[in-house]
């Protein structure tokens, strides 16, 4: 069967960005006009949660505070994701440009880019590019500056409120929500926080118009998306694809002929087994993803995969709330005990209940999403958990 559905797109890495013209023309438009265009595009956040970008900007713009901020989330810590690194390496101007447009809409004078510590090697070049960018803004008479803030090796700091805590010099422990960042974010001021890729798409929407973006994708998942593809595949790497494909179509293109499962969305995402490839759409109407796609072939033990994820969560949990701190440990110990035969297989049901409890009671997205991979792996690969 020819794979004529998967459409390659080149919005993100196209290096011709026409920065000054785009900023100049966009800065001449009214804020309402800008927000409406973004709304029309249907762009949703690319960092995982998928919140409509236009609304985030709008809510923040409506706050009365004098000081507001735009923060670019470049903490990229989800296992299997590496596209933000490539975007920052190849097209940093588009990221900065997206931030500058947001700054106009919300009325921010300062922006911040929170870069994960693992990407420190990008810093010198980013600082150089930032100088060029600031001088372009200066030429245009735009009063806005961006500062890069370095992370220090903590996955949880990708969670927006933990990221603000970290920027303020504290432990990266998530805050209670509400209030949301649009009301109280960095320095407790109204803040837009967007993923690197979201900001680039925002910029491109003002370069080419909402229509070009909207033509791509489906009603629920407009546009294209950058995927980070790894695991058992003959062509691992970074690909920008139109949204709306099924896992089956994806596997046809990227599988090695023996794919038994695809983990969509990283450790905090969902495992899709072969029998569900056909009916599962990759996108907000099916399995959402921040871009992480990991393929597993039949030589892999899904028990090892789940154990690796649980070790990840156990270590990266900030430890602030009990369901997550204790839950992650117990889930890991639990599957080990079943595997060794120290516990009967029915113990897995109890562990599922625990994961369910974490989903309801954990304070932030980390603890709440452990259940995603836990359920989808345990339910679909029960024999592998036991024998």
Partner 1 sequence: MAETKELVKTLADRHGRTRESLIPILQGVVQQERYISSEAMTEIARELDISAAKVYGTATFYSFLDTQPRGKFVIRVCRTISCAMRGKSLIIQEIEDLLKIKVGETTQNRRFTLLETNCLGWCHKGPAMLVNDEVYTELTPERVRDIINEYMNK
Ligand X SMILES: Cc1cc2nc3c(=O)[nH]c(=O)nc-3n(C[C@H](O)[C@H](O)[C@H](O)COP(=O)(O)O)c2cc1C
Residues that bind ligand SF4 (CB under 6 A): 156, 174, 317-321, 324-325, 362-364, 366-367
- Determine how many CB atoms are found less than 10 A away from the CB of residue 351: 22
Distance CA 205, CA 222 (A): 12
Interface with partner 1, residue 169, by CB under 8 A: yes
Please identify which residue in 217, 231, 286, 334 interacts with partner 1, judged by CB under 8 A: 231
Interface with ligand X, residue 314, by CB under 6 A: no
> Which residue's Cβ lies closest to ligand SF4?
367
Cβ proximity to ligand X: between 270 and 303 the closer is 270
CB of 365 to ligand SF4, least distance (A): 7
Please identify which residue in 42, 47, 48, 80 interacts with partner 1, judged by CB under 8 A: 80
Cα three-residue angle 286-288-294, rounded to 5 degrees: 105
Say which entry of partner 1, ligand SF4, ligand X, none residue 193 contacts (CB below 5 to 8 A, set by partner kind).
ligand X
Interface with ligand X, residue 226, by CB under 6 A: no
* Sheet with strand 259-264: strands edge to edge: 237-242, 224-231, 292-297, 259-264, 270-273
Distance CA 78, CA 286 (A): 19
Please identify which residue in 159, 173, 248, 252 interacts with ligand X, judged by CB under 6 A: 159
Interface with partner 1, residue 256, by CB under 8 A: no
Q: Contacts from 313-316 at CB under 8 Å and sequence distance 24+? A: 313/267, 313/366, 313/370, 316/77, 316/154, 316/155, 316/156, 316/366
Interface with ligand X, residue 158, by CB under 6 A: yes
Interface with partner 1, residue 197, by CB under 8 A: no
Interface with partner 1, residue 268, by CB under 8 A: no
Closest by Cα among 303, 132, 300, 322 to 232: 300
Interface with partner 1, residue 102, by CB under 8 A: no
CA distances from 251 to 62, 254, 276, 286, 294 (A): 44, 5, 12, 16, 11
Q: Which stretch binds ligand X (CB under 6 A): 1-9, 28-36, 44-52, 256-264?
A: 44-52
CA distances from 322 to 40, 299, 354, 370 (A): 42, 36, 12, 14
Cβ proximity to ligand X: between 118 and 384 the closer is 118
- With beta carbons less than 8 A apart as the criterion, state whether 382 and 307 touch: no
- With beta carbons less than 8 A apart as the criterion, state whether 262 and 277 touch: yes
Q: Which stretch binds ligand X (CB under 6 A): 17-25, 128-136, 190-198, 320-328?
A: 190-198
Interface with partner 1, residue 168, by CB under 8 A: yes
Interface with ligand X, residue 58, by CB under 6 A: no
Q: Which stretch binds partner 1 (CB under 8 A): 127-135, 161-169, 192-200, 344-352?
A: 161-169
């Amino acid at each position: 069967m020819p794979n004529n559905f998967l459409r390659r797109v080149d919005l993100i890495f196209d290096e011709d960005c026409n920065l000054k013209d785009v900023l100049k023309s966009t800065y001449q438009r009214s804020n309402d006009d800008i927000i409406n265009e973004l709304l029309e595009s249907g762009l949703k956040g690319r960092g995982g949660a998928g919140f409509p970008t236009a609304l985030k900007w709008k809510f923040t713009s409506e706050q009365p505070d004098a000081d507001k901020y735009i923060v670019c989330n470049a903490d990229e810590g989800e296992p299997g994701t590496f596209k933000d690194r490539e975007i920052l390496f190849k097209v940093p101007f588009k990221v900065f440009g997206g931030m500058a447009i947001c700054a106009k809409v919300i009325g921010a004078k300062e922006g911040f880019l929170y870069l994960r510590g693992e990407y420190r090697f990008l810093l010198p070049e980013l600082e150089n590019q930032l100088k060029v960018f600031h001088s372009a803004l200066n030429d245009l008479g735009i009063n806005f500056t961006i500062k890069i803030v370095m992370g220090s090796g903590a996955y949880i700091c990708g969670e927006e409120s933990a990221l603000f805590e970290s920027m303020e010099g504290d432990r990266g422990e998530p805050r209670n929500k509400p209030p949301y960042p649009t009301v109280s974010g960095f320095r407790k001021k109204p803040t837009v926080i967007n993923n690197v890729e979201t900001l680039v798409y925002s910029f491109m929407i003002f370069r080419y118009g909402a229509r070009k973006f909207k033509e791509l994708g489906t009603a629920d998942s407009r546009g294209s998306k950058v995927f980070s593809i790894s695991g058992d595949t003959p062509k691992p790497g970074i690909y920008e694809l139109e949204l709306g494909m099924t896992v089956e179509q994806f596997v046809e293109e990227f599988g090695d002929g023996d794919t038994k499962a695809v983990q969509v969305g990283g450790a905090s995402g969902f495992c899709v087994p072969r029998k569900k490839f056909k009916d599962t759409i990759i996108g907000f109407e099916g399995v959402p993803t921040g871009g992480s796609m990991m393929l597993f072939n039949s030589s892999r033990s899904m028990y090892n995969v789940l154990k690796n994820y649980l070790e990840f969560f156990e270590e990266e949990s900030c430890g602030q709330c009990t369901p997550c701190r204790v839950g992650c440990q117990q889930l890991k110990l639990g599957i080990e005990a079943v595997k060794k035969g120290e516990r009967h297989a029915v113990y897995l049901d109890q562990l599922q209940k625990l994961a369910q409890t974490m989903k309801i009671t954990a304070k932030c997205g980390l603890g709440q999403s452990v259940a995603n991979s836990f359920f989808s792996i345990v339910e679909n690969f029960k024999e592998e958990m036991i024998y």
